[in-house]
Structure 1
Amino acid sequence: MAETPSRTGSPTTLDTDLIIIGGGPAGCSAARMAASVGMRSTLIEPDRLCRNLYRIPALNNVLGGYTNGPGLADSIAAELQSTELCHLELGRRATQLSASDDHVTVTLDTGACLTALYAIVATGVGPLQPRDAPWITAPSSLNLPPLWQADANDAEGRTLLVLGGDRTIGTFLRAHPTTDTRLLVAYPESDDYKTGEIRDDPRVALRPVEHVRLRLADDAATAETMDRSGKRQTITADAVFLSIGNAPTAPSGDVVRDTAGYCLPSAQHPRVIIAGDLRSARFQRIMTALGSGSEAALHAYYAAKELLHARHLHLG
C-alpha cells in the first residue's frame, strides 16, 4: 500500500498506509488493529501513550482484570511499542490535516508533512475551566483543579464543592471508598444523565442548578446558586474542584465539527475517520474508545483494499 493513483493517473508516493492522530486508547487500538491486518501506520502523540489513563486511579468497566488506569496504560504502551508495523511519533503534535481525493496530508509542529491513504483522528478531549461553562460566573483568569487531582488525605473530613456532574466524580468515589468527605455537586441540566452512578453514595449531595456564582477566599469557597425553579441558595465548602467535562481537541484543517466541537463520523471527508472521545460526549468511555479505534482501522483497511483492487483492475 505504498502508492495510490492521483487525479492525473500518476501514482502518489505515500509515507505510510495510515496516519493516526492521538495516542490514547482509541489511537493505540487503531494502530494495533491496523498492524494485525498488515497496514503500516504512523501514530502521532504530543505526550506519552495513554497519558490520561495514568490519571484514573480506579476502573470497574474494562476487560482484562485491570482495576486502575496506570496498569492498563502500561500494558497498552508496552504492546504498541513492540508492534513492528507501527511507527511512533511521540512528542509531536499534528497541527494541520488536509484531505484530497486520493490521500491525506498531516503537518507536524516541526513543519514536516506526512502522507497516507487515510487518517484516523483520535485526539479526544481536554479539560474545561469555569470560563468555558456559561452556567458558571467566576473570574475569567480562574483555573481550578479537576476532581481527579484531589488528594484523598486532604479531602478527609472536609466538604468539597464540585462544579459539574461529569463521571470523574464516580471514579473519585470508587478510588477512595473509605474517605470520609462530603461532595456538594452543583450541576446543570445537561449533566442530569451522568449523575445516576453517584446518586446513592451517602457522601454526595446533588444540587441541580441553573447558575452558579463562585467566590473564593483563602480558607473557604462560597457559591451562590440558583436552582431550576429560580430559588437562590448559598453554599460554603472547604475547597472547589471541577467535573464540568472536557472540550474536543481536533486538529485544524479538514475535520468537520458540530456546534459543540465534536466530530460526527458521518460528516467527515471519506479519507478522515473519527475514533474515540472525539465522536460525542456520550461515548467517553475506555471500552468504547478501544472498540471505535479498532473499528476505524478496519474501516481504513477495507476501504484501501477496495481502492487498490480497483487500481489493479484498471492497470490490468
Structure 2
Amino acid sequence: MATMVDTPPRRPGPHEAHDTDLIVIGGGPAGCAAVRMAAGVGMRSVLIEPDALCRNLYRIPALNNVLGGHTSGPALGDAITAEVRGTELCRPLLGRRVVELRAHDGHIAATLDTGTCLTAPYTVVATGVGPLQPDAVPWITAPDGLILPPLPQADPDRAEGRTLLVLGGDRPIGTFLRAHPATATRLLVAYPEADTYKTEEIRDDPRVTLLPVEHLTLYASEGGRVTADVRNRGGGQRTVTADAAHVSIGSAPTAPAGDLVRDADGYCPPGGQHPRIIVAGDLRSARFQRIMTAMGSGSEAALRAYYAARGLSVGG
C-alpha cells in the first residue's frame, strides 16, 4: 500500500478565524466519508489519524454487506483511501493523535500530541473502537499486562494446521472462517453466557470447538503456546492448550479526552454533545457497528456541520 505524504494544515490568513472549516478526528470509513461530503459542499477539512487511513479495513479479509462490489476489507480500504487522496479540500494529517478536544462558544480546539492546537467551527469525531483485552472482562484471569491480537490479525498461512484459542465469541470469528474456507486451523472458542447468541453462525463449522465458560485462567508457556484452565457453567474443570491465543471479546470506545459526553460504557451518543461536536461511526454505540452505517453517519455529520455553519437546521 502506497504511503501518503502529508502536509501540515495551512495556518489561517489575516481574514480567517480558524485553521479550517471542519476538523475530522479519525480516518476510518466514517471519517473518510465525512471529509468527502465536506468537500462536496465546499468545506475545507483537516483529517487527523494516528495510523493509516482505514487501517481496520485492511484486517477484514472478507466482506458481504457493503455496496460497490467490494468483497474484502483491503479492496474497500484501497478505494476509500484513493478517494481521500483525491480530495483537494482535505488535508490529511496522519501519524498524529488528538489528545484533548475542547468546545467553546465560537469554535472547537483540538490539541495534538505534538502540542499544536487546531481550531475550526465544528468537528466530526469518528475515532471508533479498539479491541478489548483480557483484563477488561471479569470472566478471564490472565498475566498482568497481557496484550493479545484480535483474531482478524491472525496470519492464515501461519495458522494453517494449528490450534488457536479465541477468547470471546464476537462476530469477527465468523468473518475469519468465511474468509478462509479451506484453512485447517482449529479454533477453540471460549465465551461467556452473554456471547451465546453471537456463536450461532459458527457452531456448525467443524473447525470450531465451543467452550462455554464461567471463568478462564490463561497461562503463557514456552514457545508461544498457551494453556488455559476452564471452569464451565456447570462447575466442571478442564485444561486446554493451543498454539496461540487471540481476542474476540468485543470493543471499547477510543474517544479523545476533553469535552465529549460519554455514557456508562464509554460511548459518545450523538444526542447531548456540545453543538459544535458531531459524533459519527462506531463511537456512537455498540449496536450499529457496521461499515455502511459508519459511512452514512460520517456523511451526515459533515452535512450537519455545513448546515449549522449557515444557521440552518438539518430538517429545514
Q: TM-score, normalised by structure 2?
A: 0.88
Shift of residue 193 of structure 1?
A: 3.8
Residue of structure 1 in register with 2:163 after alignment: 159
Matches within 5 A, 1:29-178: 29-178=33-182
| 1:159-199 per-position Cα deviation (integer Å, ceiling 9, x unaligned) | 22110112221121111100122211111233334323323
Once structures 1 and 2 are overlaid, which stretch shifts more, 260-269 or 145-154?
Answer: 145-154
Number of residue pairs aligned between Structure 1 and Structure 2: 298
Match of 1:252 among 249, 257, 261: 257
Residue of structure 2 in register with 1:292 after alignment: 297
What CA distance in whole angstroms lies between the structure 2 residues aligned with 1:28 and 1:134? 36
What CA distance in whole angstroms lies between the structure 1 residues aligned with 2:297 and 2:258? 22
Once structures 1 and 2 are overlaid, which stretch shifts more, 101-110 or 143-152?
Answer: 143-152
Residue of structure 1 in register with 2:278 after alignment: 273
1:234 correspondence with 2:239: yes
Aligned-residue RMSD, C-alpha: 2.0
Residue of structure 2 in register with 1:187 after alignment: 191
Residue of structure 2 in register with 1:4 after alignment: none
Amino acid across the alignment from 1:269: H
Once structures 1 and 2 are overlaid, which stretch shifts more, 153-162 or 113-122?
Answer: 153-162
| 1:75-120 per-position Cα deviation (integer Å, ceiling 9, x unaligned) | 1111111112212112221111111122111111222211111111
- Give the match's secondary structure for 1:197: coil
Once structures 1 and 2 are overlaid, which stretch shifts more, 233-242 or 73-82?
Answer: 233-242
What CA distance in whole angstroms lies between the structure 2 residues aligned with 1:149 and 1:43? 26
| 1:205-242 per-position Cα deviation (integer Å, ceiling 9, x unaligned) | 22222211112322643222223343333333333221
What CA distance in whole angstroms lies between the structure 1 residues aligned with 2:46 and 2:30? 14
Amino acid across the alignment from 2:123: A
The structure-2 alpha-carbon separation of the partners of 1:296 and 1:197, relative to structure 1 and needing over 3 Å to count, comes to: farther
Shift of residue 12 of structure 1?
A: 8.2
Amino acid across the alignment from 2:259: D
Shift of residue 282 of structure 1?
A: 2.3
| 1:25-78 per-position Cα deviation (integer Å, ceiling 9, x unaligned) | 100001111111222211111122111111222212111111111111111111
Amino acid across the alignment from 2:209: A
What CA distance in whole angstroms lies between the structure 1 residues aligned with 2:24 and 2:279? 10
What CA distance in whole angstroms lies between the structure 1 residues aligned with 2:203 and 2:37? 38
Q: TM-score, normalised by structure 1?
A: 0.88
What CA distance in whole angstroms lies between the structure 2 residues aligned with 1:298 and 1:199? 43
What CA distance in whole angstroms lies between the structure 2 residues aligned with 1:12 and 1:196? 56
Shift of residue 151 of structure 1?
A: 2.4
Once structures 1 and 2 are overlaid, which stretch shifts more, 191-200 or 124-133?
Answer: 191-200
What CA distance in whole angstroms lies between the structure 1 residues aligned with 2:307 and 2:200? 39
The structure-2 alpha-carbon separation of the partners of 1:107 and 1:198, relative to structure 1 and needing over 3 Å to count, comes to: same
What CA distance in whole angstroms lies between the structure 2 residues aligned with 1:299 and 1:169? 36
Shift of residue 278 of structure 1?
A: 0.9
Shift of residue 153 of structure 1?
A: 2.9
The structure-2 alpha-carbon separation of the partners of 1:108 and 1:206, relative to structure 1 and needing over 3 Å to count, comes to: same
What CA distance in whole angstroms lies between the structure 2 residues aligned with 1:269 and 1:196? 40
| 1:256-282 per-position Cα deviation (integer Å, ceiling 9, x unaligned) | 112221111113111111111111222
- Give the match's secondary structure for 1:281: coil
- Give the match's secondary structure for 1:160: strand
Higher helix share: 1
Shift of residue 132 of structure 1?
A: 2.2
